[in-house]
């Protein structure tokens, strides 16, 4: 096992990756012929309700195909686990966790980020989610009960030269409230986190016409939030070949995961145009389908929710390295039947 202490200063921790093929950080291509330069950043897609989603990262482990581990301890200037508010790094923004470290070339079985699980007796120094009216522990479940959560991501390959990756936290997919009266913690499911190589990554900018927003709210007025009568305006990105008829909401059903969105983003209103916009960062280049819904506030990531429907759908969009743009407007065919709000 290789263990490297990687101490992060308080400066230059946030990087903007508007063109995903390269970062704003100057990285040398130096190194031996049998080594690679490895960098890892963290980004997220937001979730309704939370104002902060804080994780405390202790280390990153790379497991080689030969079974050897390379470990980077991720500490701040006080030798404490790095605190990252994921909501500060949305779209094409990312927090640089590891920068230009020299590692062996070759195939790796997995990458794992260890985090300090939330403790209701010490929320300041452990992972937690801040809501408007409360703060709750954030926990990544694993075998054992040592206070450490493991976010393990699939295998990848490191080539000679620069290798830049982003761990993209899709919080709509990964944050779950078990609603357990004996456990107040919010769970973070690693299935909602994906590892993207920036070599073949792209950003997608989506604009939804304000008329579409208004019509969706009108059609589904009975399904507005019971708390404040608001709606969850979101775009869902699906793998190529998904249609409006078989597109599903976010869910944990392994049999239907191919029809569940691969990425999501909340929409926010543009003050000038009045239209709603979203940025989905760090998608792999390729062809996708795109959907809009105003009912994402009803989307439970643990179940298939019949009340969450696709309101407008585009069957084919090409996403390339430069920021791609897609517009959902009145010329898109509406596919959603109007349903009554759940009682």
Is 49 part of a structural domain of the chain? yes
Picking from 4-8, 63-67, 151-155, which range would have the lowest pLDDT averaged per residue? 4-8
Picking from 77-86, 129-138, 140-149, 212-221, which range would have the lowest pLDDT averaged per residue? 140-149
Containing 171, the helix (H) or strand (E) segment is: helix 171-174
Sheet holding 268-269, edge to edge: 268-269, 276-284, 201-208, 324-328
Average pLDDT, the chain: 84
Is 196 part of a structural domain of the chain? no
Picking from 143-157, 158-172, 188-202, 227-241, which range would have the lowest pLDDT averaged per residue? 143-157
Of 97, 23, 15, 90, nearest in space to 61 by CA = 97
**Alpha carbons 54 and 127: distance in angstroms, whole number:** 5
Residues 264 and 146 in one domain: no
Residues 13 and 157 in one domain: yes
Model pLDDT, residue 330:
66
pTM of the model: 0.82
Model pLDDT, residue 6:
34
Is 342 part of a structural domain of the chain? no
Task: Indicate if the pLDDT at residue 3 is higher than 60.
Answer: no
Alpha-carbon torsion (203, 265, 244, 209), positive or negative: negative
Residues 149 and 242 in one domain: no
Could you report the per-residue pLDDT of 229-275, keeping only the tens digit for each? Answer: 999 999 999 999 888 888 887 886 655 566 789 999 999 998 888 88
Beta-carbon contacts of residue 299 (< 8 Å; ≥ 6 apart): 172, 232, 249, 250, 305, 308
Residues 184 and 293 in one domain: no
Residues 72 and 134 in one domain: yes
Residues 15 and 54 in one domain: yes
Q: Which of 141, 158, 188 is the last residue of a domain?
A: 188
**CA atoms within 13 Å, Cβ hemisphere of 110:** 9
Model pLDDT, residue 250:
83
Residues 169 and 222 in one domain: no
Q: Which of 148, 165, 188 is the last residue of a domain?
A: 188
Model pLDDT, residue 4:
39
Is 256 part of a structural domain of the chain? yes
3-state secondary structure of 293: strand
Task: Indicate if the pLDDT at residue 25 is higher than 70.
Answer: no
Is 337 part of a structural domain of the chain? no
Would you give the distance in Å from CA 258 to the centre of its chain? 17
Residues 151 and 219 in one domain: no
Model pLDDT, residue 125:
96
Task: Indicate if the pLDDT at residue 27 is higher than 60.
Answer: no
For strands 201-208 and 128-130, give the pairing: unpaired
Picking from 41-45, 187-191, 244-248, which range would have the lowest pLDDT averaged per residue? 244-248
Model pLDDT, residue 324:
81
Containing structural domain, residue 278: 203-328
Model pLDDT, residue 256:
58
Q: What is the mean pLDDT of residues 111-130?
A: 96
- Calculate the alpha carbon distances from 190 to 24, 90, 194, 255, 317 in Å: 28, 18, 8, 18, 27
**Alpha carbons 192 and 264: distance in angstroms, whole number:** 10
Is 333 part of a structural domain of the chain? no
Beta-carbon contacts of residue 188 (< 8 Å; ≥ 6 apart): 55, 127, 138, 139, 140, 149, 151, 174, 175, 176
Q: What is the mean pLDDT of residues 110-131?
A: 96
Band (pLDDT 50/70/90 cuts) for residue 115 is very high
Task: Indicate if the pLDDT at residue 40 is higher than 60.
Answer: yes
Residues 62 and 144 in one domain: yes
Task: Indicate if the pLDDT at residue 146 is higher than 90.
Answer: no
Is 198 part of a structural domain of the chain? no
Residues 96 and 172 in one domain: yes
Beta-carbon contacts of residue 320 (< 8 Å; ≥ 6 apart): 202, 285
Q: Which residues of 117-136 are buried (b: 16+ CB within 10 A; e: fewer)?
A: bbbeeebeebbbbbeeeebb
Q: Which of 188, 222, 246 is the last residue of a domain?
A: 188
295, 259 contact by CB (below 8 A): no
The token pair at 221 is 């007025």
Task: Provide the residue count of the chain.
Answer: 343
Is 195 part of a structural domain of the chain? no
Give the CATH number, domain containing residue 287: 2.60.40
Residues 179 and 56 in one domain: yes
Residues 208 and 115 in one domain: no
Task: Indicate if the pLDDT at residue 38 is higher than 70.
Answer: yes
The total number of structural domains that make up the chain:
2
- The most distant pair of C-alpha atoms in the chain lies apart, rounded to whole Å, by 64
């Amino acid at each position: 096992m290789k263990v490297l202490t990687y101490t992060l200063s308080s400066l230059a921790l946030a990087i903007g990756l508007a063109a995903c093929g390269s970062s704003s950080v100057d990285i040398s291509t130096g190194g031996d012929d049998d080594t690679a330069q490895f960098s890892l950043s963290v980004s997220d897609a937001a979730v309704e309700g939370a104002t902060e989603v804080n994780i405390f990262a202790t280390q990153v482990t790379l497991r080689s195909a030969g079974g050897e581990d390379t470990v980077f301890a991720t500490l701040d200037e006080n030798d404490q686990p790095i605190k990252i508010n994921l909501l500060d790094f949305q779209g094409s923004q990312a927090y640089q966790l590891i920068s230009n470290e020299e590692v062996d070339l070759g195939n790796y079985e997995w990458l794992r980020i260890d985090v300090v699980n939330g403790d209701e007796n010490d929320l300041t120094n452990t992972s937690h989610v801040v809501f408007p009216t409360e703060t709750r522990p954030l926990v990544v479940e694993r075998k054992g009960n040592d206070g450490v959560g493991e976010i393990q991501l699939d295998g990848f390959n490191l080539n000679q030269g620069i290798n830049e990756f982003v761990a993209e936290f899709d919080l709509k997919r990964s944050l779950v409230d078990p609603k357990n009266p004996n456990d107040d913690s919010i769970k973070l499911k690693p299935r909602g986190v994906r590892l993207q190589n920036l070599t073949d990554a792209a950003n997608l900018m989506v604009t939804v016409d304000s008329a579409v927003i208004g019509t969706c709210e009108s059609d589904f007025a009975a399904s507005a939030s019971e708390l404040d009568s608001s709606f969850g305006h979101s775009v869902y990105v699906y793998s190529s070949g998904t249609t409006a008829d078989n597109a599903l909401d976010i869910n944990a059903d392994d049999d239907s995961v191919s029809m569940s969105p691969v990425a999501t983003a909340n929409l926010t209103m543009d003050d000038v145009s009045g239209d709603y916009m979203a940025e989905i960062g760090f998608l792999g280049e390729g062809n996708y389908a795109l959907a809009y819904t105003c009912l994402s506030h009803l989307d439970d990531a643990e179940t298939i929710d019949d009340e969450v429907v696709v309101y407008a759908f585009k069957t084919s969009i090409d996403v390339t390295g430069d920021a791609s743009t897609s517009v959902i407007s009145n010329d898109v065919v509406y596919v959603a039947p109007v349903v009554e709000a759940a009682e």
